[in-house]
Amino acid sequence: MSFEVIKAIAESGDELALATVVDVEGSAPRHPGSKMVVRRAPQGGDPALSVLTGTVGGGKGEARAISLCGECMDTRASRVLTLEFLSTRVEGQDMICGGTSRLILEPLGGPGDPARAPYRLVLDRLERGERSLLVKTLGAAGAPTAVAVLDETGAALTGAVPPAPAGRVARALAGGTAALLREHDLFLDPVFPDDKLLVLGGGYVGQAVAWHASRLGFTVTVADDRAEFSGAGRFPEGVRTLCGPYTQIVEGFPFDAATYVVMVTRGHLTDLECVRAVLKKSWRYAGFIGSHRKGRLFREQLSRDGFDPARIDQLHSPIGLRIGAETPDELAVSILAEMIAARRNAAEPAGTAAPAAATETSTAPMTEAGGTRG
């Protein structure tokens, strides 16, 4: 939803206003950070209000928000709206969720309005797979008076950024959860790109990773150089499948800072082929299957190939958290747990301590024969 909302704000030719849920007490239909873009455009000769994209809960409450967005456009002033869902009449039209929602409504003007500039910057970052944090300063009445954009490190990219607790900023950027800081009169609104997962290898482990990842919010693509392991029937609906040489598939895939790569091909030679190709791309997470010894030999070979040692060290191998996984589904869970840790910026997730075998040393060169998974 974030991408559609931000894109609509940045590119629409109509006069707009933005409604955002900033706080919820009790039960309410939408969570903080939920957005709705309202536009005013000629329809049948007269300007009319309509929802361009998004929702803040539907029903009478959303209708009220739409109407007040029109008033914001008229006055060029932000405002606050509190919606109650406390009706006791089951057969009435008022909502009975049992809570309240607080919304901020912001006029964004027409295409050239400076109020849209922060959202255009965020859209540019989304299209590169980069995370952003919108920091909205709230005035005495609770309505937003200024908008700043921070990058994933918490550094300001535009706008005057008021003092904010570094820990709260870090948590918003790590978890992607919006937060209202009443004591600081700030609303932290993280905007994340869609997480893309490329699974290289459609065997049992790759198949299990794709099935589980499709339920965790990843946009999944599975590739294999064998047609029987890249058929759409092996994977859930919505999973894209590709068949062809791995280097060609990696070259054509749209890598960015929100890309995750799992390399679980049929053998170590194709794994090495994939790793060499992936190291030339940008990604948030990349790992390959195999033992600690295999990982060490790969790293030695990649160093001899001339790859940046710091970049090599970012590879996860053995892939997945150390939970004693054995079956394909268990391995998939361990791999996805490690990916979630990368998604949430968990510095050192539990279970990552390497066993004693990881301390073995070797100076043997990487062989180019055989096809084992070890």
Domains observed in the chain: 2-191 (no CATH), 195-359 (3.40.50.720)
Q: Considering Cα of 248, then 287, then 205, then 236, what sign does the dihedral take? A: negative
pLDDT computed for residue 367 by the predictor? 32
pLDDT computed for residue 98 by the predictor? 53
pLDDT computed for residue 362 by the predictor? 33
Provide the β-strand partners of residue 104: 20, 80
DSSP 330-352: HHHHHHHHHHHHHHTT-SS-TT-
Whether the CB-CB separation of 78 and 143 falls below 8 Å is answered with yes
pLDDT computed for residue 45 by the predictor? 58
- For the record, the structure tokens of 137 come out as 């300063």
pLDDT computed for residue 345 by the predictor? 84
Low-confidence ranges of the chain (pLDDT < 50): 86-97, 349-374
pLDDT computed for residue 133 by the predictor? 95
